Amino acid sequence: MNLLDHLRRDHCFFLDLLEKLDQTVTESSNRYFAEGRGAQVTPDLVTIIEKMLARMALHERAEEGLLFPLLRRFSPDVEPALSVIEADHKGLGRALASFQREAGTAERPTAWMILGISRVTNMMRSHIAREEADLFSAAAQRVPPEELERLGAEAAVLAQYKEQATHSGPEKGEARGRT
């Protein structure tokens, strides 16, 4: 498996978690409107965010430590896109960490939860789309395949840590063929 395959596998994992976040928010909103109860930040919600944060840290290490140097070497014209993606990484990490911190302190109003989760899921989906369109396509076209394969072996080591960090088995996205 080459480096891009590993990174796409992570993207499938993240997209599956985003679906779970959306579902959790929808269920909570429906309860609020049907029963008049305030939305609660459920343990499931916190667990999903914790999994996302753990996996993101390792995913970003693979991108910033393996993919980005390759792109700077073989495709220097993508530097502006790299700057945007690096800023995204920081923003997403801060947004998720902030939401995790706030979610654990008190019950929040429904609007806060819906807007917070919607913001994070939209940011994440946009980020993934940008990476795949701007960076992965450039890497696939300009980086020699043997370089991607060589770094895929390094990414495989990180993948073991990702699995341990998120306590997950095979990704749902793989079963659906989203690679």
Q: With a threshold of 0.85, does the pTM exceed it?
A: no
Q: Which helix H or strand E contains 108, and what residues bound it?
A: none
* CATH class given for the domain over 3-175: mainly alpha
What are the mean pLDDT values of the chain's consecutive 10-residue runs (179 residues total)? 94 93 79 64 76 87 94 96 94 82 61 77 94 96 95 84 58 40
φ, ψ for residue 117, nearest 5 deg? -65, -40
pLDDT at 172: 44
pLDDT at 171: 43
Residue type at 52 in one-letter notation? M
pLDDT at 117: 81
pLDDT at 5: 96
Q: What is the rounded CA–CA span in Å between residue 154 and residue 57?
A: 16
Q: What is the rounded CA–CA span in Å between residue 118 and residue 138?
A: 30
pLDDT at 88: 93
